[in-house]
Amino acid sequence: MASAFSLNRATLIGNLGSDPELKTIPSGTPVCNFNVATTQSYKDQGGNWQDKTEWHRIVLWARLAERAAQYLRKGSKVYIEGSIETRSYEKDGIKRYTTEIRADNFINMEKTDGQGSYSGGAPAAQSYGGGAYQGGGQAPQQAPQQQAPAQAPPQDEFDDDVPF
């Protein structure tokens, strides 16, 4: 029997490093690619704050790809949900591998001014995904909602010097 419990989900909030690139594959299906930067702050061994930036390759398919190309731009802050996929390809006779986030949902979080206007003509925090914009494959099943604990643990129970 196959493993009953398995999960492959990625959730990111970051900024686009370039404008989305929209292409159409030979079957006629649109595909959109872009990179998202996420930055994490941590204390080094000397107690100084450091920033570490990671770049994530994002792939969207079908209507979701078209929506991303329409509403996202370089620098846009975006929320991405999807799964992690590794694929192989051949270039110059060498087999290569790449790991990507196959997005099945995104939210444009970018404001363009203090008046509440939003880039690309899309409303802020507009969610694209699920339903009509599903990026291919099976729709994710809705997990049961869990209630938050009644009381958060006191802050002093956490050690700031933990190196991760």
Tell me the C-alpha distance between 22 and 31, whole Å.
Answer: 6
Tell whether the model's pLDDT for residue 39 goes beyond 60.
yes
pTM metric for this prediction? 0.67
pLDDT at residue 112 above 70?
no
Q: Could you state, in order of their start, the residue ranges of all structural domains in the chain?
A: 10-39+51-136
Pairwise CA distance, residues 32 & 135, whole Å:
10
Alpha-carbon distance 7 to 12, whole Å?
16
Tokens of 117: 């206007």
CA 21/CA 31 separation, integer angstroms: 8
Q: Which tokens in the block code for residue 28?
A: 């006629």
pLDDT for 59 equals: 98
pLDDT value of position 4: 80
Q: Tens digit of pLDDT for each residue in 66-76?
A: 999 999 999 99
Mean pLDDT, the chain, rounded, equals 78
Judging by DSSP bridges, how do beta strands 49-61 and 94-108 pair with one another?
parallel
Looking at domain 10-39+51-136, its CATH architecture is Beta Barrel (2.40)
Q: What is the pLDDT of residues 80-110, one digit of tens each?
A: 999 999 999 999 999 999 999 999 999 999 8
Higher pLDDT, 27 or 120: 27
Q: Any idea what DSSP says for residue 6?
A: -
